[in-house]
Structure 1
Amino acid sequence: MEQKSFFEKRNLHNLEKIEYLKDDLPDFIDDYFLGIENQTSTLTRLNYAYDLRIFFDYVVKKVFKGKRTVKSLTLQDLESIASNDIERFLSYLNHYDYNGTLESCNERAKARKLSSVRAMFKYFFSKERISVDNAAKVSMPKLHDKEIIRLEVNEVVALLDCAESGTGMTEHQRAFHEKTRVRDIAILTLFLGTGIRISELVGLNNEDIDFSTNSFRVTRKGGNQAILYFSDEVADALARYLAYKEDDKNTPSGEHALFLSLKMQRISIRAVENLVKKYSKIVTPLKKISPHKLRSTYGTQLYRETKDIYVVADVLGHKDVNTTKKHYAAISEDIRRSVADKVVLRGDPTEKQ
């Protein structure tokens, strides 16, 4: 099935990157990645590789003072890395040089890198290949809550109207707009009407859409498949786009991908990010709107309508409802305020004689 090959190709691409990054990692990392292969996705391991590359670069520079190379590091060296070395690593991430490029990490990037380091130490400690897990002694950075950036109802209308009419576009943008208008409306409507992730949208095939039940099949984060449902408004946008594709003589007969680029190939994640950015900059120039923010917009609206955090978590594909609660806590406050006068105890005091 071609959809499966899309995700297989993505996994192969990630594996190739991991192999490339291993050149900058100690040899014992091979055992680590092999040991966690069945519990993690290729994307998770790729992110671990990026984070550990920076960590071990720090280790040879600052802990071993340049007397060792990354490739020469052993598990005995790993065991000798103290908890305060790892704490200094977090401070180092405020402003550091990697291969001649100055970098810096915010609190969330620091937390992710520490999680990657902790996971590695925990693995080798659990396998009794090191006798102490010093990374477990290091506290996670305090993470401040981020404001949920989303579109308001009037901004959603304006975004879709902009995609429909092309109002506010430059001449260069207008030159392509007529060719992509129907597709772009379908993409934006699907994001805003279902809250799917960008990878889920890009991976869709024509045969994943079932108009008889207004449903579609997606491959979720982690590889599991799910059936989701869409409204008549989303159905209309999708049907319009499919009819447009069918009438376009340039559409390849054997192409299964739902959304196509101008080159008549499966649209890329970068292209989808760019089209969302293009329209949102016209409509809401002060908000940085990405496909994930359209997902937040849907989640917000769904929570306001249902007032059921478990429904929102299920539809968005969150494995842990606490993830959903964390993102929509501010809306819970709105709901609590709105229902404050719903329970009447003794009636309206002004009506008493």
Structure 2
Amino acid sequence: MSPHGPDGPDDRQGDGRDALLDDFARRLRSELGRSEHTVRAYLGDARSLLGHLDAVGAPVDRLDLGLLRGWLSRLSGAGASRATLARRIAAARAFTAHLHRMGRLDTDPGPLLATPVRRRSLPRVLSEDQAADAITAHAEDAEAASTPDGLRRTAVVEVLYGGGLRVAELCGLDLDDIDRERRTLRVLGKGGKERAVPIGEPALDAVDAWLQAGRPALVGPHSGRALFLGARGGRLGTRSARRDVHELLRAAGDGSDAGPHALRHSAATHLLNGGADLRSVQEYLGHASLDSTQVYTHVSIERLTEVYRRSHPRA
């Protein structure tokens, strides 16, 4: 067994693994348009797979379905969840496709891997009153709302909820991504896919307040065209954006542990509750597949069932 363990391959076999991983990372970024978060995760999974090959004494060019299954079996035995295994399988498929493309594998075993069925839990959703009250309570706190951090926090939450954005999409927004005339945002989503997202007046007002009295106080040489800035003047990071959401909702006293994705889930659910059709919500959220949007119908149905049981005389 490699002294580096199953998750830490080295380059002792002389098969150019470091260069191979570098090429894999470049392809994920440039050709497949994966986010940096996905690139890091996939590289970690590829290293784990290479570590398994070291552990069983198999060279890269002998990687086949049996070795892939053996790697996944070890991960499952170590307690990996279905969701983690599903992501590792996706990473393995991308990696074996890359190996095949580079001529390192005669055939690509990745497509033969079966993805485990994931038990999809219903997303956490704030009620419409909870969402509105949280934002209003923060805006009415004069001290919190008037600081650069407070103005950004309000704008971040308004845009995430008003546009149903992923947190990485929000952090990637530039100043010229706002179309005030059409009241839309130009959003760069997963896989580099661009979409226009409608945004309401409250969110636009919050952004304007941030641009007038918040952003100028933080702008610096590294700000560029970023819409939202962090404490050091650079583009706002996803961790700071999540903290903004948690702090605002926690201070309001509702949904105390809710984060950006809860706002996205809430926006989609509230649209469906208001009569929007599923395909419109799919486009709004930037989902590649309608299956991903389908979960929100379950949330709406679950809420309808609760109301029915509470309100209908024959329930």
Question: Unpaired runs of 5+ in structure 2?
Answer: 1-7, 309-315
Q: Please tell me whether the aligned partners of residues 138 and 145 of structure 2 are also in contact (alpha carbons under 8 angstroms).
A: no
1:242-261 equivalent positions in 2, closer than 5 A: 242-245=211-214, 251-252=219-220, 255-261=224-230
In structure 1, what is the equivalent of residue 172 of structure 2?
203
In structure 1, what is the equivalent of residue 16 of structure 2?
27
Choose the corresponding residue for 1:155, options 130, 153, 158.
Answer: 130
In structure 2, what is the equivalent of residue 60 of structure 1?
54
1:288 correspondence with 2:257: yes
Q: Offset at 1:156?
A: 0.8
Q: Offset at 1:276?
A: 0.9
Could you tell me which amino acid in structure 2 is paired with residue 150 of structure 1? V
The 1:284–1:108 alpha-carbon spacing in structure 2 relative to 1, beyond 3 Å, is: farther
Bigger radius of gyration among the two: 1
Deviations 1:174-196 (A, max 9, x none): 78973422221111111111111
The 1:328–1:229 alpha-carbon spacing in structure 2 relative to 1, beyond 3 Å, is: same
The 1:282–1:336 alpha-carbon spacing in structure 2 relative to 1, beyond 3 Å, is: closer
Choose the corresponding residue for 2:288, options 316, 319, 323.
Answer: 319
Q: Please tell me whether the aligned partners of residues 99 and 105 of structure 2 are also in contact (alpha carbons under 8 angstroms).
A: yes
Q: TM-score, normalised by structure 1?
A: 0.69
Could you tell me which amino acid in structure 2 is paired with residue 217 of structure 1? R
1:1-353 equivalent positions in 2, closer than 5 A: 27=16, 29-30=20-21, 38-41=31-34, 43=36, 44-61=38-55, 63-64=56-57, 73-76=59-62, 78-79=63-64, 81-82=66-67, 84-94=69-79, 105-122=80-97, 124=99, 130=105, 136-166=111-141, 178-245=147-214, 251-252=219-220, 255-283=224-252, 288-332=257-301
2: CA distance between counterparts of 1:202 and 1:83?
36
Question: Unpaired runs of 5+ in structure 1?
Answer: 1-20, 95-104, 168-173, 340-353
2: CA distance between counterparts of 1:86 and 1:330?
36
Could you tell me which amino acid in structure 2 is paired with residue 27 of structure 1? G
2: CA distance between counterparts of 1:232 and 1:175?
21
Q: Offset at 1:312?
A: 0.2
SS of 1:216 mapped into structure 2: strand
Q: Please tell me whether the aligned partners of residues 24 and 53 of structure 1 are also in contact (alpha carbons under 8 angstroms).
A: no
Q: TM-score, normalised by structure 2?
A: 0.76
Deviations 1:137-169 (A, max 9, x none): 5533231121211211221123213422459xx
Deviations 1:70-89 (A, max 9, x none): xxx3302x248446524522
Could you tell me which amino acid in structure 2 is paired with residue 143 of structure 1? R
| Root mean square deviation, CA, Å | 3.7
The 1:127–1:336 alpha-carbon spacing in structure 2 relative to 1, beyond 3 Å, is: farther
The percentage of aligned residue pairs carrying the same residue is 20
Matched residues, number = 293
SS of 1:218 mapped into structure 2: strand
The 1:127–1:332 alpha-carbon spacing in structure 2 relative to 1, beyond 3 Å, is: farther
